[in-house]
Amino acid sequence: MIIVLRPEVEMQQAEIILKKIEDKGLKPLCMPGIERIVLGAIGDERILQSLNLEADPAVEELRPILSKYKLVSKEFHSHEKIVKIGSTKFGGGHLGIIAGPCGIETLVQALDSAEYINETGVTCFRAGIFKPRTSPYSFQGLGLEGLSILNEIKKQYNMSIVSEVIETKDIELIYEHVDAYQIGARNMQNYRLLEAMGKTNKPVVLKRGMSATVEEFLLAAEYIYNAGNDQIILCERGIRTFETTTRNTLDLNSVAYIKEKSQLPIIVDPSHGTGVRNLVNPLTKAAIAVGADGIIVETHPNPEVALSDGKQSLYPQQFKQLIREISQISTIFGKTL
Amino acid sequence: MIIVLRPEVEMQQAEIILKKIEDKGLKPLCMPGIERIVLGAIGDERILQSLNLEADPAVEELRPILSKYKLVSKEFHSHEKIVKIGSTKFGGGHLGIIAGPCGIETLVQALDSAEYINETGVTCFRAGIFKPRTSPYSFQGLGLEGLSILNEIKKQYNMSIVSEVIETKDIELIYEHVDAYQIGARNMQNYRLLEAMGKTNKPVVLKRGMSATVEEFLLAAEYIYNAGNDQIILCERGIRTFETTTRNTLDLNSVAYIKEKSQLPIIVDPSHGTGVRNLVNPLTKAAIAVGADGIIVETHPNPEVALSDGKQSLYPQQFKQLIREISQISTIFGKTL
Amino acid sequence: MIIVLRPEVEMQQAEIILKKIEDKGLKPLCMPGIERIVLGAIGDERILQSLNLEADPAVEELRPILSKYKLVSKEFHSHEKIVKIGSTKFGGGHLGIIAGPCGIETLVQALDSAEYINETGVTCFRAGIFKPRTSPYSFQGLGLEGLSILNEIKKQYNMSIVSEVIETKDIELIYEHVDAYQIGARNMQNYRLLEAMGKTNKPVVLKRGMSATVEEFLLAAEYIYNAGNDQIILCERGIRTFETTTRNTLDLNSVAYIKEKSQLPIIVDPSHGTGVRNLVNPLTKAAIAVGADGIIVETHPNPEVALSDGKQSLYPQQFKQLIREISQISTIFGKTL
Amino acid sequence: MIIVLRPEVEMQQAEIILKKIEDKGLKPLCMPGIERIVLGAIGDERILQSLNLEADPAVEELRPILSKYKLVSKEFHSHEKIVKIGSTKFGGGHLGIIAGPCGIETLVQALDSAEYINETGVTCFRAGIFKPRTSPYSFQGLGLEGLSILNEIKKQYNMSIVSEVIETKDIELIYEHVDAYQIGARNMQNYRLLEAMGKTNKPVVLKRGMSATVEEFLLAAEYIYNAGNDQIILCERGIRTFETTTRNTLDLNSVAYIKEKSQLPIIVDPSHGTGVRNLVNPLTKAAIAVGADGIIVETHPNPEVALSDGKQSLYPQQFKQLIREISQISTIFGKTL
C-alpha cells in the first residue's frame, strides 16, 4: 500500500500513521519527497482496510498495490477452473453454449425453443421466469407458474436449466428445477444475493453490471467464492457508455484481461452486448476469437411476438447457422465444443 | 409512437403493422418517404408495448412520443408534492436536510453524531445498519443489532430516522424503528424491492443508480408510485463517468430537469456525489442554487476512524458551518429551511 | 423528420410550423395526440436543417428519420469500397495490415523496424513524425527532420508510408514522402483538416475520436468524402469509458455496425484500443472475427526504450507471431491477406 | 513515482531499474513485498518520463505521486490569478460574464445582440466567426467576412470581443479584431494551437474537451502557460456521459476541484453544459454557488432563427433576467460583479 500525504503534512503527523501501520504487523516505509511525504506499508495490505487511512485528513490518496480480490485470481489458483452445468463444460479449453429465449412465456414457446436448440447439440437452456424490467408496465415473467414448464423441458429434452434469481428467497423456490443459477447485471452488487449463492451447491452464472469495472466484477465473484461456492462462470454482457447505436458496448478487452488475471471461466452474452439481432453473429465470433469460454445467446421461435428482448433474439434459422459457424471456428482458437 | 421501417420494407408489410395498431384502438398513420416508410400511432402508446413492434424484422426503430413514466410526471399531477419525514418537509418550497454518519457503528458514535446534528436544528438522522460494500472484506454494517441504537437516538433526541433496506424482508424488520426508508443506488433497479416500497405507508428516499438515466430513475419511482406509495423523495447522488478525480460526477443538470418534469421532490447527496470532504460544501450550495428540495449529507464525530466513507464525511465543525451557510442562502433561492 | 411539440402548444402554433415545412417543398403531416401534437415532414429532411426548428420554443424535440450522413452510407453506394495504400488493399474481402512504431525516433530504430516488419510480408509502414502528446513535457516527434528517414525506408524496403498530419499545412510538407495520411483521434473533429483531406489525392486513415459516436465518426468521413476524396479507411481505436483496466474500451460493436451501414472499409487499432501489449494479440483476432478489413498495430524493435507508447508496442517476436496467426485465421473469416 | 513490478519479476531485474533511477539523479527505493516487488523514486519524477519505464516488461504499473502539471498548480503559484478581458476581471473574487450569440450571422443580428447585452452592463461579447460543426451540411460561420462586424460592435458599443480560433493561422488573421481568443472543446488537445496561444499576448478562454479528464484539461493549460502566456481562463462546458436528456453533463465537481488545485480562474458555460434553454438559468446559479469565476452564456435576439445552437440560446428577456439574478446572488457567494 502506498499512502500519499497532502503537501502541507509534516513529518510528525506522518509518524503517527507509520506507527499505526507497524501496529498492524506490516513493515512501514517513509519516503520524504520534494513536494510531499509518501508512505508505504509492506505486507498483506488487506489488513490495513480496518485503519480507514483514506479518511485521515493528512492523507490525500491511498494506492493499493495488491488487487482487492484474492480467491478468484490466478495468483491464488493458477490453473483455469472448469465449471460444469450438466454435461456442458466451461473453461480449461472447453467452450460451453447456453441458449434460449429471454423469458419463458408459454409451454408451447418453451418446448418449441427447446426442440430446435436441442437439435443443434446445445444442452444448456436459459429460461428466465423472473424478469426484472425497467418499466412497471412491461411483462415481468411468469414467476413460479413457469416452474412446471422448466420441468417439462428437462423431462422431454433432458436439457440443463439456467434460470435467474432476483432475491435470496428465490434460490430455494427454484432449487429443484434448475441446474445453475444466473445473477443478472442489475444484481451484480446485490451482496446478500451473492453471499447466498456462496451457500448453494449449484454453479452460478454471474453477469457483469452495466457500469461495473472489471475489479468490481471480480470482487462480486469473490463474494460468492468467499462464501463457499467456487463454481462461478463470469459473463461479460456489455457496459453502458455514451454510444447509443447499440444497446450496450460489448467490452471484449475485459474478457482478454480476465483470462490473464482470473482462474474463472468467462463467457459472453452477444445478445445483450449488442441489443441488435444482426450483430449477434459477428460479435459471437469475436468473443470466441478473443478467448471466451462460452456464449449465452437469446433465440426465440418467433421473435416478433416475444414478450421481451425480441429485437435481439435470433430466429431459429439464424441460431442454427450460428452454431454451425461456432463449430467451424472453435478448433482454430483452441477450444473444444 | 413513431415506427421507422427498414429501407427495404414495402407497403404490403407496412399495412400488416398498421392493422395491428388499429386493432389496439389507436389511430394508425402512414408516411411513405423517399428512402423508407415511416408509420405513426396516435393515442395512448403505452398500449402498444404488448405488440413488441421493436422485435419485428420490418422495424428499424421505435420512437416513443410520450415519456414512459406517467404517475410521477407533472402532466399527471401539476403541483409540486410535499413529502414529510417526521416534521421535516421536502418540496413545494421547503428545503429538508438529512444528516448522519454513513453507517451506525457503536452506540457512542451514534449518540455523539445525533447530539451535534440535533444542535443545528436538523431533525432527520441517516442511520444505515445494512451497508452494501464492494469488497467482501469491508465492514457490512451492524445489522439488526443496530436497531436498539436507532431507538436510543429517537428516545434521547426525538429525531426522525432514515435507514436503508436491501431486501424486501428488511422492510418489516425495521418498520417500527424508522420514519423513512432509503433505497440505495445499487438497488434502484431492484424492482421487487421497489414494489414492496409501494406497499408501505412510510416515505421513501430513492437514490439514483450510478449508471441510471434520468428516465430510468423516474421509472423506478413510477414502480413505487404505481404500487401504492406516492411519498417518494428522489435523490441525485452522482453518476459514473470517465472522470476519476471525484468518486462520482454529481449531475445537477438532472435536478433542474426533474424539477421541470416531475411533481416529486428531489434532494442531492453531495457526499457520495463528490466522495471528497472538501468538495461537499461548495456542491451543497450548488445543489440549493439549482433548485434541489434538500440535502442528505454524511458527517461523523471522528471521520478518520469511520468504518466506511470517512473520506467524504464532514467533521462536526464543518457540518455546523455548512448548516449556517445553508440557512444564509436558502431564502435567496426561494426555500424555507 | 418527426417534430414533437411541447404539451402546451396549440394547433395555431403548429400550423405556422407546418407552413414552414411546406414552403421548403416537403410534405407536412399533423398528428394531434392526447397529450401533445406531433408533426412530420416527408421528403429530404436534410433541407430542414436551415429552418432550425429545434430552437423554436414550441418544439420539444426533433427526431430525424434519415441518418445525417449520406455519401458514406451503403444506401448511397451499395458495394464495399476497396481502398489501396501502395499494393495493400482494404475492404471488399481484403485484409490490410499497417505496422510500425508509434513514432519515428532515429534512423536506426526506423530501419530496424522496417526490416523485421517487411520480412513478414507486411508492406504498409506507420511512421509518425508529429506526435500529439497529453503533456507538454513528453516527446513530441521528430518533426520534419523525420522525413529523410521515411525516404530511407521507402528506398531500402519499398514500403508504403502512413503518417499523421496535425494541421492543414502539414499536408503539403509531407506530401512527397507518404502514401497515405492518418488523421488521429484527437483531430477527428478538426473539420478544416478533414476538408483539406478531401482535396488530396492520397488515401486517408481516419481514426475514431475517443468520445465520438459512430454517427459523428461517419459524419467526419462524410466531410472528407464531400470535399472530394473517397479513399477513406475508417479506424476503430477504442473509446473512453468508466473502465480503467485498459487504456480505452475497444468497441467492436461499432465495426460490425459500420460494416452494415457504410460502404467504407474499417480497420482496428488493437494497440491503442487496449493500451496493453499482452492484450493486442487476442483483440486483433477478435477484430478479424468481427469482420474488420484490417489492422493497424504498433511494434518496436525495443519497446522498453520507445519514446512513446512502448507499453503497448509488440516485441519483434510477438509481432511475427501475430502475423502468422492472422494468416492462419483470415481465410476462415472470408478474407484475403 | 511508485513502480509496481509484475509478480514474477525477481530482485535481479529490479536492481537494473533501481540503477536507472539512480543514474537520473533520483533516490531509488526498494520495497520487496509478499506477492511482488515495488520500487520507488524520490525526487522530481517528471525527469523519469524519458526512461519510459511503463514500457518495461518487468513493470506492471507506474503510479506517479506528483501531478503531471506544474505551472498551473497552486503549489507553483499560491495566489488566485486575476485575468482581464478588456475591463472585465475573472478570478480573485471577481465574477466575469461573457455573452453573445453562438455565431455571428449578420451585422443586424450582431448589433441587436450587442445592444441589449451592453444595456445589462456586460462588456465581453462572444462572437464566433469560425464554427466547427459536426455535419458538413451545417452553417460553418461567416469566416473572415465577419471581421468587419466585430469591428462595428467594438466601435458602436466599446465591447471586448472573444472569438474562437481553429487553426494556428487564424490567430494572426483576427489578432487586431479581438480582445481574447477562445479554444473550443474540440481543440482542447490541439497542441500546436495551444503552443501558438502561448506566444500571443492576449488572454485565452480554454474550454474543456468533452471527454477530457480534469488532469488533461489542466495539462492543456500547462501547454499554453509553458509556451509563455499565463493569461488563461479555464471553462467547464460539460462532459459526455451516458445521460442523454441533456446535451452534456455539466461537471461542477470539476470547478470546485480546480479552485482547490489551480491558480487559474475557471468559468462555466451553462449553454453547452445543458443544451437546453430552460436549464441555463438554474445551472448558472449553481455555477456561481460552487465558486466559478464567471459565466459564458449564449443569447440571441431571435433564437428560433439562429443558424446554430438556437435551442440553448436565451431570449433577450431571459438574458436580462439572468443578469439581474446573478447580481442578486453574487455578493452572498463572495464575488464582485
% of chain A with per-residue pLDDT over 70: 100
Distance CA D152, CA D162 (A): 14
Higher pLDDT, A335 or B7: A335
pLDDT of res. B307 = 83
D148-168: average pLDDT: 95
Compute the average pLDDT of residues C266-295: 97
Task: Say if C166 is an interface residue toward chain D (CB within 8 Å).
Answer: yes
Does residue C182 carry a pLDDT above 90?
yes
Please, what is the angle between helix A252-261 and helix A214-226, to 10°?
50
% of chain A at pLDDT higher than 90: 74
Contact at 8 Å (CB) between C216 and C209? yes
Distance CA D245, CA B214 (A): 7
Residues A211, A251 contacting (CB under 8 angstroms): no
Option in A29, A44, A63 nearest D34 (CB): A44
In three-state secondary structure terms, B88 is: strand
Q: Distance, in angstroms, between A305 CA and closest chain D CA?
A: 29
CB contact B65 to C (< 8 Å): yes
Whether B307 sits inside 8 A of A52 (CB atoms) is yes
Q: What is the pLDDT averaged over residues B45-69?
A: 83
**Interval A91-99 mean pLDDT:** 98
Rounded Cα–Cα distance for residues A220 and D41 (Å): 35
pLDDT tier for residue B210 given thresholds of 50, 70 and 90: very high
Cβ contact D241–A242 (<8 Å)? yes
Q: What is the pLDDT of residue D307?
A: 83
pLDDT at B28 over 90: no
**CA D169, CA D166: separation in Å to the nearest integer?**
8
Q: Parallel, antiparallel, or unpaired: how do β-strands A59-63 and A2-5 relate?
A: antiparallel
Of D35, D43, D65, which has the smallest distance from its Cβ to A66's Cβ?
D35
CA distance B198 to B225: 6
**Percentage of chain B exceeding pLDDT 70:** 100
- pLDDT given for residue A47 in this prediction: 78
Alpha-carbon Rg for chain D, nearest whole angstrom, is 23
Tell me the shortest Cα–Cα distance from B89 to chain D, in angstroms: 22
pLDDT surpassing 90 at residue D93: yes
| Overall average pLDDT of the A138-167 stretch | 92
Contact B314, B301 (CB under 8 A): no
Instruction: Say how far residue B58 (Cα) sits from the centre of its chain.
Output: 38
Q: What is the DSSP string of C289-301?
A: HHT-SEEEEEB-S
Residue B33 near chain C (CB below 8 Å): yes
Range of lowest pLDDT (A223-232, B148-157, C19-28, D287-296): C19-28
pLDDT exceeds cutoff 80 at A194:
yes
Scan for cell 523525420, then name that residue.
C146
A73 shares contact with chain C (CB less than 8 Å): no
φ/ψ (deg, to 5) at C192: -65, -40
Q: CB contact, 8 Å: D262 with chain C?
A: no
Which partners does chain C have (≥3 C-beta pairs < 8 Å)? A, B, D
Per-residue pLDDT for C288 more than 90?
yes
Q: Are strands D37-42 and D2-5 parallel, antiparallel or unpaired?
A: antiparallel
Chain D residues with CB under 8 Å of C168 CB are 167
Q: Inform me whether the C-beta atom of residue A65 falls under 8 Å from chain D C-beta atoms.
A: yes
Tell the residue number behind the cell numbers 454517427, with chain if given.
C215
Q: What is the 3-state secondary structure (H, E, C) of D271-324?
A: HHHHCCHHHHHHHHHHHHHHCCCEEEEEECCCHHHCCCCHHHCECHHHHHHHHH
Question: Cell 409512437 identifies what position?
Answer: B1
Nearest to B34 among C34, C44, C241 (CB): C44
Record: contact D222-C136, CB cut-off 8 A = yes
Give the lowest-confidence range in A279-293, B22-36, C84-98, C313-327. B22-36
Q: Is C134 on the interface with D (CB under 8 A)?
A: yes
Is the predicted pLDDT of residue A114 greater than 80, yes or no? Answer: yes
Position B229 confidence tier, pLDDT thresholds 50, 70, 90: very high
- Tens-digit pLDDT profile for residues B253-305: 999 999 999 999 999 999 999 999 999 999 999 999 999 999 999 999 999 88
**D52/C191 Cβ within 8 A:** no
DSSP labels, C13-52: HHHHHHHHHHHTTPEEEEEE-SS-EEEEEES-GGGGGGG-
Residue D85 corresponds to which cell in the numbers above? 478581458
The mean pLDDT of chain B is 93
Q: Which of A245-249, C147-151, C206-210, D52-56 has the lowest mean pLDDT?
A: D52-56
C39 grid coordinates: 408533426
Nearest Cα to Cα of residue B205 among B301, B117, B275, B126: B126
Q: What is the pLDDT of residue B45?
A: 77
Using CA atoms, how far apart are residues A146 and D47, in angstroms rounded to an integer?
A: 66
Residues C117 and D245: their CA atoms lie apart, in Å, by: 48
For chain D, give the percent of residues with pLDDT over 70: 100
How far, CA to CA in Å, does A277 sit from each of A111, B14, B316, C203?
A: 22, 20, 56, 33
Neighbours of chain B (3+ CB pairs under 8 A): A, C, D
What's the rounded mean pLDDT across residues C312-327? 97
pLDDT of residue C228: 96
- Asked whether the predicted pLDDT for residue B248 surpasses 90, the reply is yes
Instruction: Provide the pLDDT for residue D54.
Output: 85
Mean pLDDT across A230-238: 98
* Contact assessment for residue A312 and residue A280, using Cβ atoms and an 8 Å cutoff: yes
Using CB atoms, pick whichever of A29, A35, A241 lies closest to residue D31.
A29
The confidence score (pLDDT) of residue C30 equals: 86
Optimal mutation site among C304, C305, C309, C318, interface D, most CBs of chain D within 10 A: C304
- pLDDT bin (cut points 50, 70, 90) of residue A198 is very high
Res. B65 pLDDT band, cuts 50 70 90: confident
For residue C133, the model assigns a pLDDT of 85
CB A37 within 8 A of CB A30: yes
Mean pLDDT of all residues in B51-69: 84
Name the DSSP letter for residue A337: -
Q: Encode pLDDT of C150-159 as tens digits.
A: 999 999 999 9
Q: Is the pLDDT of residue D218 over 80?
A: yes
| Residue A334 distance to chain C (closest CA, Å) | 12
Consecutive H or E run containing C5: strand C2-5
Residues in CB range of A79: below 8 A, 6 or more apart:
A92, A263
- What is the rounded average pLDDT of the residues D95-118? 96
CA dist D169 and C185 (Å) reads 22
Name, in order, each residue with C-beta under 8 angstroms of B106's C-beta and a sequence gap of 6 or more: B149
Kindly indicate the confidence band of residue D266, based on its pLDDT and cuts at 50, 70 and 90: very high
> B136-187, pLDDT tens digit by residue?
888 788 988 899 999 999 999 999 999 999 999 999 999 999 999 999 999 9
Q: Which residue has the higher pLDDT, A98 or D67?
A: A98
The answer, yes or no, to whether residue D46 has pLDDT greater than 80, is no
List, for residues A295-332, the tens digit of each pLDDT value.
999 999 999 888 888 889 999 999 999 999 999 999 99
Total residues found in chain B within this entry: 337
C73-113 pLDDT tens trace? 988 888 899 999 999 999 999 999 999 999 999 999 999 99
Judge contact between D83 and D89, C-beta under 8 A.
Answer: yes
Q: According to DSSP H, which parts of chain A are helical?
A: 11-23, 107-119, 147-157, 168-174, 191-198, 214-226, 252-261, 270-274, 277-290, 316-329
Q: Residues near D84 by Cβ (< 8 Å), separated by ≥ 6?
A: D90, D203, D231
Q: In whole angstroms, give the CA distance from residue C151 to residue C137.
A: 28
Distance CA A168, CA B265 (A): 32
* pLDDT for A115: 97
**In sequence order, what DSSP letters do the residues of D213-245 get, joined into one string?**
-HHHHHHHHHHHHHTT---EEEEE--B--S--S
pLDDT band at B114 (very low <50, low <70, confident <90, very high): very high
